Amino acid sequence: MQLMKLALTAAIAFGACVPAHAQTEIQWWHSMSAALGDWVNDLAKQYNASQTKYKIVPTYKGTYDESMTAGIAAFRAGNAPHIIQVFEVGTATMMASKGAIVPAGKVMSDAGFKFDPTSYVSAVAGYYTAPNGQMLSYPLNSSTTIFYYNKDAFKKAGLDANKPPKTWPEVFEAASKLKASGHSCPFTTSWISWTQLESFSLWHNTLFASKNNGFDGTDAQLQINTPLHVRHFENLAKASKDGSFVYKGRGNAADASFPSGECAMITGSSGLYARVAKEAKFAYGISTLPYYADVKGAPQNTAIGGASLWVMAGKKAEEYKGVADFLNFLNDTKVQAASHQRTGYLPVTMGAYKLTEASGFYEKNPGTDVAVTQMIRKATDKSRGIRLGNFVQVRAIIDEETEQIWSGKKTPKEALDTAVTRGNEQLARFARANR
């Protein structure tokens, strides 16, 4: 009898440990670290707690470049994740990867979820949508380039803390005054190509590349050595020489220098807001990307940045249902609005923007609507975005060549001319491979 009781107790205990049904795991590779890594993990926890059928497993795979490379290698090896976060410069490459991806719009519609591209901010939907109107990837964290400044440093330099510089001449003038007040890093920038050439071009309604920045064909060529581009980099070179502009490195290496108080002004991603809000121990302001007032058509709208979620091919039907369910969760207006308010990334749907506006968030946090207003302007063919093949390699070339300017080894004209020549070789290689 005692043995029977023990056996029954063990059986009940074992049964309690076995779930009613096994959860389907969905692997999600991403590149979010620090405060943004916390956000991604919290999204996964929130979704997992909302239902019991699927489990999202987020995994940090390094920088955008590293995670994209890892994803491609994993697909070739047959062990790709279900979802991979790819930054915007990888869009054309992912689009050309026939057989490697399944359009996000198709995954959602196959699972029975309503998916309306017209509900999205047009600049966002247009960037990630194919000519046939099908959305190829889900815009998780769309950003754009904006301007941050240290109000305390401005006051110390005798500048109006409530009047951020709107034009580039005003930025350089403010940088000189900050330098004179003893600031060791008046102005810096992250993502030199994205902020100072890509968004710079669109903001001035000027082409970054031919074929309407690659949207009209893969046989595009760079156009970043025009008199306007050269003029801007001559101004940056002059500021670099006198110490009012400090180059902090490639990618987002400069990001940490602003919330730490080291640099007083920075042009960078709207997604930097999460870190600034969390770490800055000083009063700060957010403003629009500077421009040259004498350029006709400026300002227009800035370039989309950030990343989107691509669904990889070769998975089981049930797994795709889980992917669709998760994307539908991310698409919820309240989830969208909360993510926008927490991170500084764009609310990719107009509903999330309106909900945030109605909540009074923008009034309580001045400047947090800058990224949105920059992106919901009416885009022209020259300013709707940049979609080039081998864009990762092109950006690396731009980094290499512009670094020659800061070191004094090349003039801005020489560096930009060489960047165009070398970049066009990459574009031509991509065009040949994708005829």
Residue 371 domain-assigned? no
Our CA dihedral for 87, 88, 92, 93, rounded to 10 degrees, sits at -10
Range 285-307 average pLDDT: 94
* Shared domain check, 239 and 200: yes
Range 381-392 average pLDDT: 90
pLDDT confidence band for 14 (50 / 70 / 90): very low
Q: Between 18 and 222, where is the model more confident?
A: 222
Per residue in 320-378, pLDDT (tens digit) is: 999 999 999 999 999 999 999 999 999 888 899 999 999 999 999 999 999 988 887 67
pLDDT confidence band for 21 (50 / 70 / 90): low
Per residue in 111-155, pLDDT (tens digit) is: 999 877 778 887 787 788 887 878 899 999 999 999 999 999 999
Checking if the pLDDT of 7 tops 80, the result is no
Residue 410 domain-assigned? yes
Give whichever of 67-81, 111-125, 277-291 has the largest mean pLDDT: 277-291
pTM of the predicted model as reported, rounded to 2 decimal places: 0.87
Closest Cα partner for 228 from 250, 252, 201?
201
Q: Between 401 and 16, where is the model more confident?
A: 401
Q: Between 392 and 126, where is the model more confident?
A: 392
Which pLDDT does position 124 carry in this prediction?
82
Q: Check if the beta carbon of residue 207 is closer than 8 Å to that of residue 215.
A: no
Residue 404 domain-assigned? yes
Range 388-417 average pLDDT: 97
* Shared domain check, 285 and 322: no
DSSP 97-129: -TTTEE-HHHHHHHTT----GGGB-HHHHHHTB
Residue 207 domain-assigned? yes
* Shared domain check, 204 and 70: no
Q: What CA–CA distance (Å, rounded) separates 175 from 188?
A: 10
Q: What CA–CA distance (Å, rounded) separates 270 from 146?
A: 6
* Shared domain check, 154 and 127: no
Which pLDDT does position 4 carry in this prediction?
39
Q: Between 329 and 384, where is the model more confident?
A: 329
Given the DSSP bridges, would you call strands 305-312 and 83-87 parallel, antiparallel or unpaired?
antiparallel
Domain hosting 228: range is 144-303+377-433
Checking if the pLDDT of 102 tops 90, the result is yes
Which pLDDT does position 98 carry in this prediction?
78
Which pLDDT does position 425 carry in this prediction?
98
Q: What CA–CA distance (Å, rounded) separates 265 from 386?
A: 26
Which pLDDT does position 390 carry in this prediction?
94
Round the average pLDDT of the chain to a whole number and report it.
Answer: 92
Residue 262 domain-assigned? yes
* Shared domain check, 216 and 89: no
Number of domains the chain is built from:
2
DSSP 360-417: THHHHSTTTTHHHHHHSSPP-TTTS----TTHHHHHHHHHHHHHHHHTTSS-HHHHHH
Which pLDDT does position 373 carry in this prediction?
87
Instruction: Tell me the CATH number at 251.
Output: 3.40.190.10
Q: Between 195 and 384, where is the model more confident?
A: 195
Per residue in 160-182, pLDDT (tens digit) is: 999 999 999 999 999 999 999 99
